[in-house]
């Protein structure tokens, strides 16, 4: 959970169409989550599911551009994460530079890392040091446009949906938080 400097703060929200969210992830690893949901596997078996999916891993491009970019980014990747908070899934520090009060989307991209490299880097997703890897990058943006030809699996705040995504925008000061 993010900490706020004062008892009253405004928080921006990410918007994709009519959906409001805190984090959105696009990744080939999402099929692990689908497998777990369908089979109702418990945690030890979930790790087995992760390793099976890593063995089957394919990295592809999710074409996008941010803010005023004129060129579409068509590079292959392992995952793209668009965050309004530092943590994903409770303890994974996917976006260590995210600030819920800066009215920016923290965009984390991890390039086409190999299978063994991915397994070695998994622990670094929990302390945020994964973004120092040469295949990782981050940037703070206001808008992301997508050029993806068909619906894709997207995780939005922990829920998986198959969506045709066109853009992701930040809505500054969309929520008033009173503590």
Q: Which residue has the higher pLDDT, 171 or 75?
A: 75
Residue 172 scores a pLDDT above 90 = no
Higher pLDDT among residues 105 and 24, named by residue? 105
pLDDT higher than threshold 50 for residue 2: no
DSSP for the chain? ----SSSEEEEEEEEETTEEESEEEEETTHHHHHHHHHHT--HHHHHHHHHHHHHT---EE--EEETT--S-B--EESEEEEESSS-BTTTB-S-TT--TTSS-EEEEEE----HHHHHHHGGGGTTTGGGGSTTEEEEEESEEEE--SS-EEEEETTEEEEE---EEEEEEEEEEEE-
- The structure's pTM equals 0.77
> Which of 64 and 79 is assigned the larger pLDDT?
64
Residue 138 has pLDDT above 90, yes or no: yes
Residue 129 has pLDDT above 60, yes or no: yes
Report whether pLDDT(4) > 60.
Answer: no
pLDDT at 165 over 80: yes
Specify the pLDDT at position 108: 95
Task: Look up residue 144 and give its two tokens.
Answer: 């992301």
Scanning 40-146, the segments in alpha helix (DSSP H) are 43-55, 115-121
Phi, psi of 55 (to 5 degrees): -65, -30
Give residue-wise pLDDT tens across range 8-35.
444 454 555 544 566 777 775 565 556 5
- Which pair of tokens denotes residue 32? 């692990």
Domains contained in the chain, CATH given: 8-27+59-178 (2.60.200.40)
The residue ranking higher by pLDDT, 50 or 59, is 59
């Amino acid at each position: 959970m993010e900490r706020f400097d004062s008892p009253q703060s405004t928080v921006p929200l990410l918007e994709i169409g009519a959906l409001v969210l805190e984090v959105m992830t696009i990744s080939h690893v999402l099929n692990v989550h689908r497998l777990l949901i369908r089979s109702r596997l418990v945690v030890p078996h979930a790790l087995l599911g992760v390793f099976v999916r890593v063995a089957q891993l394919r990295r592809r491009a999710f074409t996008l551009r941010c803010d005023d970019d004129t060129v579409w980014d068509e590079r292959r990747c392992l995952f793209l994460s668009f965050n309004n908070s530092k943590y994903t899934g409770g303890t994974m520090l996917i976006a260590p530079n995210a600030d819920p009060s800066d009215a920016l989307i923290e965009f984390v991209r991890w390039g086409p890392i190999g299978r063994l490299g991915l397994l070695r880097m998994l622990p670094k997703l929990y302390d945020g040091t994964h973004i120092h890897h040469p295949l990782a990058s981050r940037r703070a943006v206001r808008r992301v446009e997508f050029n993806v030809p068909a619906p894709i699996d997207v995780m939005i705040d922990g829920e998986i949906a198959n969506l045709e995504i066109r853009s992701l925008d930040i809505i500054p000061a969309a929520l008033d938080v009173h503590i």
